[in-house]
Structure 1
Amino acid sequence: MKHPIYILLLLITCASCTKQPKLDGIDLEKFRADYGGCKGDRTKMIEKLKSLKSEIKGVSSNDLDNYFGKPDIQQLSDRSQEYYIYFLEAGTHCEDIKKPSSSLIMAVRFSAMGMATEVNFQRGMPEE
């Protein structure tokens, strides 16, 4: 009867281990403080963020919250997937977050398990 307990503990331990990305070169404190990219600090980080795209994939949504802060917009998608939207430059959303904006965004797509599967840089909101 001891073996099922060990297996359960092993599964819990493995599930709690998530990828810890190397986000060198990004001032995460400034990123979090620049809500909506309205201050202009995120604009200076765009090229570095693009180069770290593969580092962000595989990170859990909880960990991404810890690194980049809460998303500017959280968008639910089909099959229990979701997007975290971070505006990288100022736009009409700075006046009202509900206004459509064509500003550059970083859209991180999460699987139903809460792991980042896709990171896109685009203008405007992602298509569902």
Structure 2
Amino acid sequence: MLKRLFILQGVIVVGLLHACGTPESLKDFDSDSWKEDRYACGGKRGELVNDFEKIRKDLYGKKEYVLRNLLGKPDSEELLERSQRIYFYYVEPGGQCSDRSKLSEANRVEVRINSLGKVSEVTYHEPINAAKPE
């Protein structure tokens, strides 16, 4: 009986650890390079825009922790009514590189998180000329 309990606990722990990871559909994205280029001041995020565009629609409906595992801490965020939030991730250098306390006019990805903690919208501050996914 005790042995079965330990096996069950092990299965639950492995399942929980797997659930907190990144879904397979998002694994091809270079998440580490994106996270290293905070505020897009190094120019790496700009190079990743086409890759991001390929996974952008896969983010819809994903939980907030999946988004944060993939893209890291947002460069800025806006709190809305009814527990909604918008996360901002810059994709090009701009005024945010010298003054991080204000939103700059540099292009950025804007991710809306609904009151259930799920991604409900992923847009750009300005339209972007990214390659359309196949």
Same fold (TM over 0.5): yes
Other-structure match for 1:96: 99
Moved beyond 2 Å, runs of 4+: 16-21, 23-26
Give 1:53 deviation, angstroms. 1.7
Aligned equivalent of 1:80, options 80, 83, 103: 83
Identity %: 28
Secondary structure at 1:109 match in 2: strand
Secondary structure at 1:63 match in 2: helix
Q: Structure 1 97/111 Cα, relative in aligned 2: closer, same or farther at 3 Å?
A: same
**What is the TM-score when the length of structure 1 is the normalising length?**
0.76
Q: Structure 1 66/17 Cα, relative in aligned 2: closer, same or farther at 3 Å?
A: closer
Other-structure match for 1:49: 52
- Equivalent residues of 1:91, 1:101 under 8 A apart: yes
- Equivalent residues of 2:78, 2:85 under 8 A apart: yes
RMSD: 2.2
Q: Structure 1 97/51 Cα, relative in aligned 2: closer, same or farther at 3 Å?
A: same
Unaligned segments of structure 2, at least 5 residues: 1-15, 127-134
Give 1:19 deviation, angstroms. 8.5
Alpha-carbon displacement from aligned partner over 1:14-59 (angstroms, at most 9, x marks no partner): xx79983622542111100000011000000112212322111111
Q: Within 5 Å, which residues of 2 pair with 1:1-128? A: 20=23, 22-123=25-126
Secondary structure at 2:104 match in 1: coil
Other-structure match for 1:5: none
